[in-house]
Amino acid sequence: MRFAKNEIPKSTINRIAKYYAILLQLRSEDKIICTSEDLGRRMSVPSSLVRKDLGNFGEFGTKGVGYRVHYMIWRIEQILGYRAAWNAVIIGSCMPALTLLTASSIFPPGIHIAAVCDLEKDNPGVPVGGGSELATESFANINAIVQQRNIIMGIMAVEQSKSQQVANKLVEAGVTGIANLSSIPVLVPKHILLVEVNIASWLSQITYSLNGIIKNDFLAGKPYIESFS
């Protein structure tokens, strides 16, 4: 959980990644200059926060003019490690999910999927498809996979009961970072960079708020029957 280097909060990094997505959009709209107000408006944050976030990495806007869209894209790619090629292994529990994760653009630039392990059916050699030239490999070989291919990060989308075990094996194999897309948090040693991407926990913000607004608690009258005395 300890993210090294310096004191930039995780929430700042998250926002900078989102500024990046917006800047790509602006570039596709042939915009050359944007202001902190433009970015703030598209993110629903104050422009002062945009300037503060970017100010962490030095001044790269021009006062009264704004930020140059192309330069900002390039600069954020440098800051966030997007202009590198971090080799990653995806470990998943079903083939369609592996195909989607490998093919999709949900990961940031800089992450290069170098191996795919199907945890459910341990049948190596199945083409992942979706435009990828990779084929599944056995998770039993994870040590060799990580070491021989300079894999620095594991991306886990496995079922809850196997999450911790998979995380442990990734750590043993020598990865530096783990992204856990499973629904249960995992524990890792302090030197490992861990990110929990827990979709259920995010969507719970909505169900929680709905619960306060709308009366739909139709199960509340049937309290859970506790199976112990």
Residues of this chain, 20-39, that bind a second copy according to CB under 8 A:
21-22, 24-25, 28, 32
What gap in Å lies between CA 175 and CA 88, rounded to an integer?
A: 9
CB of 93 to a second copy, least distance (A): 10
Which string of x and - marks every residue 33-72 that binds a second copy (by CB under 8 A)? --------xxxx-----------------------x-xx-
Alpha helix locations (H) across 92-180? 95-103, 142-148, 163-173
Specify the DSSP class assigned to residue 57: T
Q: 10 Å Cβ neighbour count for 224?
A: 6
CB of 144 to a second copy, least distance (A): 21
Contacts of a second copy in 123-162 (CB under 8 A): 152-153, 155, 160-161
Structure tokens of 225?
A: 């029957």
**129: region left, alpha or beta (phi > 0 left; psi from -120 to 50 alpha):** left
Q: What angle do CA 154, 157, 160 make, to 5 degrees?
A: 115
By beta-carbon proximity to a second copy, the closer residue of 8 and 135 is: 8
By beta-carbon proximity to a second copy, the closer residue of 77 and 141 is: 77
Which one among 37, 49, 97, 126 touches a second copy, defined by CB under 8 A? 97
By beta-carbon proximity to a second copy, the closer residue of 13 and 135 is: 13
Alpha helix locations (H) across the chain? 10-28, 36-43, 47-55, 69-79, 95-103, 142-148, 163-173, 199-213
CB of 159 to a second copy, least distance (A): 9
CB of 225 to a second copy, least distance (A): 9
What gap in Å lies between CA 157 and CA 30, rounded to an integer?
A: 37
By CB under 8 A, tell whether 86 contacts a second copy: yes
Q: Select the span of 48-56, 99-107, 118-126, 134-142 touching a second copy (CB under 8 A).
A: 99-107
CB of 98 to a second copy, least distance (A): 11
